């Protein structure tokens, strides 16, 4: 098996310090959490940013200063801004970080129910436009999929020229689609040959999905965005603790951990 790429989703847009006091808001806190994950073995930092009071924002300048802080601490890490933002943001707001020409950015390939009355909207035109902008700026999309239909959308839009192949998928399980071995295998079997994939289990599914992904030869995402606990009832002190747990599982299963440059080679990225 190729080496394991670990992505750390260090803060997200929904969790708060009320959920875990170690959730980062400020530029310094975001830099600290990125560094903790990187030192533990993460090659990719999946990045949302916040205002100092914790309000999620897609402001380009806030992303710029956070990226600079992360790069100061972790010069070779891959930074993957989110274009998902938060529920209710406009497409124009969400696309702002792509203007900074990151190596990667996320591309959500469908609308989903996020819980309660919250609906995360991604129309066909949104997906096509985001894909087109990323091609123009040389940004590799990580295709975020929450159910099988979103894979089908990605395949269709790739055929239409809105997404370049080979594609890299992130299966986010435990939100709209169940997080089981059956479901993960179904998703993996549904993507085009030559694609790469990562799995992110939400909440209590984070580590079980990570273990399955490692064993199946895929890659893994963990972090405060998806889960704030190290184990049942025990809050994680940092994103680094969550990454360390994945590294321990990987070593037990015989997977070596990819460095950022090794991750670039696997994903076909060029360092910027």
Closest CA to 60 of 31, 103, 99: 99
pTM across the whole model? 0.97
Closest CA to 73 of 147, 164, 146, 10: 10
What pLDDT is recorded for position 200?
A: 98
Beta-carbon contacts of residue 196 (< 8 Å; ≥ 6 apart): 166, 167, 168, 169, 218, 219, 266, 267
pLDDT in tens, 3-44: 999 999 999 999 999 999 999 999 999 999 999 999 999 999
- What rounded mean pLDDT belongs to the chain? 97
Q: How far apart are CA 26 and CA 62, in angstroms?
A: 10
What pLDDT is recorded for position 189?
A: 98
Phi, psi of 259 (to 5 degrees): -75, 165
Q: What percent of the chain has pLDDT over 90?
A: 94
What pLDDT is recorded for position 81?
A: 98
Q: Is 11 exposed, middle or buried (0-12, 13-18, 19+ CB in 10 A)?
A: buried
Q: Quick one: average pLDDT of 93-116?
A: 95
Q: How far apart are CA 264 and CA 230, in angstroms?
A: 28
Q: How far apart are CA 230 and CA 255, in angstroms?
A: 21
What pLDDT is recorded for position 230?
A: 98
What pLDDT is recorded for position 1?
A: 86
What pLDDT is recorded for position 16?
A: 97
Tokens 């895929």 correspond to: 218
Could you give the domains of the chain?
A: 6-267 (3.20.20.70)
Distances (CA, A) of 55 to 49, 81, 123, 211: 9, 16, 25, 33
Q: How far apart are CA 137 and CA 66, in angstroms?
A: 20
Angle, helix 206-216 to helix 239-252, in steps of 10 degrees: 40
Buried b (16+ CB within 10 A) or exposed e, 121-142: ebeeebbbebbebbeeeebbbb
Confidence of residue 99 (pLDDT cuts 50, 70, 90): very high
Beta-carbon contacts of residue 223 (< 8 Å; ≥ 6 apart): 7, 8, 9, 10, 11, 12, 37, 46, 239, 242, 243
């Amino acid at each position: 098996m190729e080496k394991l790429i670990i992505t750390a989703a260090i803060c997200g847009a929904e969790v708060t310090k009320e959920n875990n006091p170690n959730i980062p808001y400020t530029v310094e806190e975001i830099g600290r959490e990125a560094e903790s994950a990187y030192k533990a073995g993460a090659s990719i930092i999946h990045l949302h940013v916040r205002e100092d009071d914790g309000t999620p924002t897609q402001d380009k300048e806030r992303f710029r200063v956070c990226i600079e802080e992360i790069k100061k601490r972790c010069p070779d890490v891959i930074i993957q801004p989110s274009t998902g933002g938060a529920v209710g943001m406009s497409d124009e707001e969400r696309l702002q970080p792509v203007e900074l020409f990151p190596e990667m950015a996320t591309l959500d390939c469908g609308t989903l129910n996020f819980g309660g009355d919250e609906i995360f909207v991604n129309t066909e035109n949104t997906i096509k436009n985001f894909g087109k902008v990323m091609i123009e700026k040389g940004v590799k999309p990580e295709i975020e999929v929450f159910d099988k239909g979103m894979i089908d959308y990605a395949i269709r839009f790739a055929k239409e020229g809105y997404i370049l192949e080979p594609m890299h998928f992130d299966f986010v399980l435990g939100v709209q689609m169940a997080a089981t071995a059956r479901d993960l295998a179904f998703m993996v079997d549904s993507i085009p040959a030559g694609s790469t994939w990562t799995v992110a289990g939400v909440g209590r599914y984070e580590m079980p999905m990570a273990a399955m992904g490692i064993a199946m030869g895929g890659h893994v995402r963990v972090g405060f965005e998806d889960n704030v606990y190290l184990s049942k009832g025990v809050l994680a002190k940092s994103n680094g603790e969550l990454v360390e747990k994945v590294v321990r599982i990987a070593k037990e299963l015989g997977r070596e951990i990819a460095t950022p440059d090794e991750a670039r080679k696997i994903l076909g990225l060029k360092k910027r």
